[in-house]
């Protein structure tokens, strides 16, 4: 087993990995940008090292700096978390070349499944259903119009090199296609370094269902069931749950979609944790969409219902251990729901809301888990994704989980910035949500009836008093002097530059 692991990430996922390492008696090393000098993951880690200024392109995304940091502290392995370099095959290969274990799949699998068009070809060869579309990128508008006519409008233009809604355009008419191709390609080039786009038939009102797989480096691979991820904004997930309400209505679907996921994963000799994403229509017919060759943000809901610690298994598998779990041993108990708590304003088109957390109190109690990376007094920076925490709950049934989430959201207290907690409070009481009548356009329709909560005079005054109190107690974040980091103050080993 590893003695020391460097975490090439920040925020709540870095905290999550540090906790797993501590339970396994493995030393943890955090990296941080200058904007994250006082962040939770830096304070919690056994060691920490600065890798550059605030922009991620100059810190968290610089492969050479991260590898150099790992060498300096003597780390034997690197956990990439999700986002940043987690699906960068060149980084995974660089780790391997530097004789540092990359805690994730082999770089060849990342490279093969990182291209959506290549992943489609793998799925087709494996006999898995895919959305009708092109297997290669398209660049000629004339050829694209011919393909779109054969598929039938509406169609979807998608970036071949990445996801998250970037480089994606819906096209309803032939006259819109050329302009959509140009803008989608430009956006894809900026986001992923590749302007390649491809065409898919648009499935109206689909559900987004994904399957968690886990495999060792000795050829043993299993699936851990599905997650429903249909509650999205701009193709970014906001609420996830397991099991899917569709699977609750059609239990046979879990085995069918799970086996399709395993066929695709086996085709690329996949190891470690990964997720196969599918679109499903309301009848349960499903189509392969893409593969995420990493840990997912929403992994806690799978951990709740299966009782399996995915991060711990990631580390054990990377250390060469055999996966002792068998498919027939996996059981799914109850229901779990995750809400991604963001520093953003739902009433203002989800605009980011950085700033000082003048009050921050997380919910707790039976069946409640908060994977957080912030604390009261922390300045939420504008430089990164505005995710504050992942609030997950478990209940013996979906109704019980919904009721528990209502209670947990009501207990959550955040002052000083805007969050989407008010959105969750209303969503959890929505009749269609409670009935499980979901699709990827659900949140867009729901927002038309969303009522923004106006801050009360009491909350305004509490926020002002808290900010004033913190200003008297703490030096300004832009001050010249730098207070001692907590991990130094508590006597933990550290490297700070």
pLDDT at 470: 53
Q: Per-residue pLDDT tens for 424-458?
A: 999 999 999 999 999 999 999 999 988 876 555 44
CATH number for the domain including 167? Answer: 3.30.1490.20
Question: Is residue 119 a part of any domain in this protein?
Answer: no
Consecutive H or E run containing 19: helix 11-23
pLDDT at 485: 35
**How many structural domains compose the chain?**
3
Does 276 share its domain with 139?
A: no
pLDDT at 460 over 60: no
Does 310 share its domain with 182?
A: no
Distance CA 130, CA 289 (A): 7
Does 268 share its domain with 141?
A: no
Q: Which domain holds residue 30?
A: 4-103
* Backbone φ and ψ of 180, nearest 5°: -65, -40
Catalytic residue numbers read 294
Q: Per-residue pLDDT tens for 210-220?
A: 999 999 999 99
pLDDT at 473: 52
* Backbone φ and ψ of 294, nearest 5°: -170, 180
Q: Residue 416's Cα: distance from chain center in Å?
A: 25
Q: Which residues of 433-465 are buried (b: 16+ CB within 10 A; e: fewer)?
A: beebebbbebbeebeeeeeeeeeeeeeeebbee
pLDDT at 243 over 60: yes
DSSP label at 455?
Answer: P
Reported as a pLDDT band with limits 50, 70 and 90, residue 483 is very low
Does 173 share its domain with 222?
A: no
CATH number for the domain including 53? Answer: 3.40.50.20
Question: Is residue 255 a part of any domain in this protein?
Answer: yes
pLDDT at 476: 37
Distance CA 256, CA 267 (A): 17
Does 160 share its domain with 96?
A: no
Question: Is residue 385 a part of any domain in this protein?
Answer: yes
pLDDT at 2 over 80: yes
* pTM (two decimals): 0.86
Does 74 share its domain with 215?
A: no
In the 3-class helix/strand/coil scheme, how is 140-177 assigned residue by residue?
A: CHHHHHHHHHHHCCCEEEEECCCCCCCCCEEECCHHHH
Q: Per-residue pLDDT tens for 371-404?
A: 999 999 999 999 999 999 999 999 999 999 999 9
In the 3-class helix/strand/coil scheme, how is 474-493 assigned residue by residue?
A: CCCCCCCCCCCCHHHHCCCC
């Amino acid at each position: 087993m590893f003695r020391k692991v460097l975490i090439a990430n920040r925020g709540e996922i870095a905290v999550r990995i540090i906790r797993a390492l501590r339970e396994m008696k493995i030393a943890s090393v955090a990296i941080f940008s200058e904007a994250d000098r006082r962040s939770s993951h830096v304070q919690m880690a056994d060691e920490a090292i600065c890798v550059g200024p605030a922009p991620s392109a100059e810190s968290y995304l610089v492969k050479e700096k991260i590898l150099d940091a790992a060498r300096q502290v003597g780390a034997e392995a690197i956990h990439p978390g999700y986002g940043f370099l987690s699906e960068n095959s060149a980084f995974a290969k660089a780790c391997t070349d530097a004789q540092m274990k990359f805690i994730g799949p082999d770089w060849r699998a990342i490279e093969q499944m990182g291209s959506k068009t290549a992943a489609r070809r793998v799925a087709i060869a494996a006999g898995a259903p895919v959305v009708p579309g092109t297997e290669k990128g398209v660049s000629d508008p004339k050829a694209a119009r011919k393909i779109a006519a054969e598929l039938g409008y509406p169609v979807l233009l998608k970036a071949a090199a990445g996801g998250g809604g970037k480089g994606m355009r819906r096209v309803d008419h032939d006259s819109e296609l050329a302009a959509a191709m140009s803008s989608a390609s430009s956006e894809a080039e900026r986001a992923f370094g590749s302007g390649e786009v491809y065409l898919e038939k648009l499935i109206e009102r689909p559900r987004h269902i994904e399957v968690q797989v886990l495999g060792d480096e000795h050829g043993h691979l299993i699936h851990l069931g599905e997650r429903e991820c249909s509650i999205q904004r701009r193709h970014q997930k906001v609420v996830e749950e397991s099991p899917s309400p569709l699977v609750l209505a059609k239990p046979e679907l879990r085995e069918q979609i799970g086996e399709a996921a395993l066929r695709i994963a086996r085709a690329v000799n996949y190891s470690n944790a990964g997720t196969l994403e599918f679109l499903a229509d309301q009848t349960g017919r499903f189509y392969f969409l893409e593969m995420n060759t990493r840990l997912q943000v929403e992994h806690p809901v799978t951990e709740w219902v299966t009782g399996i610690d995915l991060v711990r298994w990631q580390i054990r598998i990377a250390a060469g251990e055999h996966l002792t779990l068998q498919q027939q041993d996996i059981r799914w108990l109850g229901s779990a729901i995750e809400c991604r708590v963001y520093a953003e304003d739902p009433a203002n088109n989800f605009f980011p809301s950085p700033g000082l957390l003048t009050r921050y109190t997380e919910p707790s109690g039976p069946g409640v888990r908060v994977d957080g990376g912030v604390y009261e007094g922390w300045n939420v920076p504008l430089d990164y994704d505005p995710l504050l925490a992942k609030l997950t709950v478990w209940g013996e049934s979906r109704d019980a989980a919904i009721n528990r989430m209502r209670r947990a959201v009501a207990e959550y207290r955040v002052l000083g910035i805007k969050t989407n907690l008010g959105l969750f409070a209303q969503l959890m009481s929505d009749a269609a949500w409670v009935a499980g009548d979901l699709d990827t356009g659900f949140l867009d329709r729901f927002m038309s009836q969303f009522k923004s909560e106006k801050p009360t005079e009491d909350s305004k005054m509490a926020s002002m008093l808290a900010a004033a109190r913190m200003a008297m107690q703490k030096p300004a974040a832009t001050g010249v002097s730098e207070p001692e980091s907590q991990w130094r103050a508590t006597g933990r080993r550290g490297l700070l530059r």
